[in-house]
Chains A and B, each alone.
Chain A
Amino acid sequence: MNGKRIWFFSFLCFSLAATTQAALVFEKTTVDLNPDMNASTAVAVFKYENKGDTLVHIKAVKPSCGCTTAALAKNDVAPGEKGEIKATFTIGDRSGLQVKTISVETDDPKAPQTVLTFKATIAQALEVTPNFVFWQAGEAAQPKTIIAKAGKGVTIKKVDVTSSSGDFTAKVEPGSTAGEFKIQIQPKETTKPLNASLTIKPDVTPAKVYYASARVMPPGTAQP
């Protein structure tokens, strides 16, 4: 009899545990962002609702990175009340896929922490690969190629490249497809350490400048 009671009690606990859910429910916990190419920020909005029957207090909203700020209109969410957390991501010089998280801490024992994620794809008008070329000391002073390619949906007909140093020459040639350019970088010599910054200007509006670097290593530098 005693054993049956324990079994019944266990079943009851299990059933209750299985049916409980957090009071604060987010519409989505992951958001994909595709900011405009010239945008300086991207904004992700996470909508929530208190589906429980008690007030929920949002104790903290913590972004994973200093590049993101999270704004919350109010910390206390009454039962049935809706609201949103607005995360503003500063793009800066970032590129490619950026995955950032925001941790939301509440006094709800069922869900003390929820992690919100946004994935921002930062497109570039011009993709420069590699953005660095180097020569070992004594290596043949042959040109090395940097490929500059127009981003998706961008038309680029011309690219100008200037070197900060006369020790390197930069020559632009058409690439294998429209919108692609081969930038040939060549050092005058490789017997002494040299370096230069390369400024790459595509004919896009608004004007945008990209950079690459070139370097001749000092004698005695080990191979990778």
Chain B
Amino acid sequence: MKALLRQSVALLALALLPAAVQALYLRDKIPWQSRVAESDLVSVEVARSWGANALWVDARPVDEFERDHIPGAVSLGQDHWSELLSQFLEKQWSPEKKIVVYCSAESCNLAEDVARRLRDESKLPNEIRILKGGWEAWLAKK
């Protein structure tokens, strides 16, 4: 019995070795690895709890926004950035609101780009977060 246990542990250890090597080698290639810091993300539940203090920004292309979007969200895709940004800043933006940017899913990085531009190019003083899981997560928890 002891011998069997020893061999099982040894087998597991042997399996771990190539797994560790692969994880190190593929560090930059793992698709689900997020480039966004956890502190920049917000879950659907938390963002919802902000109520009227949240300003939802849809980073997806306009056609996807027009098909459906989070109620009250503003379209701010990068295909028509200058025009949409002017409209957003002049009409919807408010300095005290928390901005929640989302795109289609966890794997898309459009929200990340839009959040970066609002911070770096527009220098908005708001707290800007990216919706964890994006539109898909919102739909799942609707």
**Mind listing 17 A-B residue pairs with CB under 8 Å?**
A6-B7, A64-B107, A67-B79, A92-B81, A93-B78, A93-B81, A96-B113, A100-B109, A117-B28, A130-B121, A131-B122, A213-B89, A215-B93, A221-B94, A221-B95, A222-B96, A224-B125
Given contacts A66-B64, A94-B78, A99-B35, 17 further A-B contacts (CB under 8 A): A7-B10, A10-B7, A14-B14, A14-B15, A92-B81, A94-B113, A95-B117, A98-B113, A100-B109, A117-B28, A130-B121, A130-B123, A131-B85, A197-B90, A211-B82, A213-B86, A222-B95
On B, residues with C-beta under 8 Å from A are: 3, 7, 10-11, 14-15, 17-18, 28-31, 35, 60-61, 64, 78-82, 85-86, 89-90, 93-96, 107-110, 113, 116-117, 120-126
Tell me the A43-80 residues at the B interface (CB within 8 Å): 64-67
Q: Which A residues are within 8 Å of any B CB, using their own CB?
A: 3, 6-7, 10, 14, 17-18, 29-30, 64-67, 90, 92-96, 98-101, 103, 113-115, 117, 128-132, 134, 136, 195, 197, 210-211, 213, 215, 217, 221-224
A105 CB to nearest chain B CB (Å): 11
Contact A132 B35 (CB under 8 A): no
| B124 partner residues in chain A, CB cutoff 8 A | 132
Residues of B within 8 A of A215 (CB): 89-90, 93
**Nearest residue, chain A, Cβ from B81:** A93
Instruction: Say yes or no: B31 contacts A103, CB within 8 Å.
Output: yes
A residues in contact with B90, CB < 8 Å: 195, 197, 213, 215
B61 to chain A, nearest CB (A): 4
Are A92 and B78 within 8 A (Cβ)? yes
- Nearest-neighbour CB distance to chain B for A20, whole angstroms, equals 10
The reply to whether A30 and B28 contact each other, CB–CB distance below 8 Å, is: yes
Q: Which one of B29, B95, B110, B125 contacts A65 once the chains associate, using CB atoms below 8 Å? A: B110
Closest to A18 in B: B18
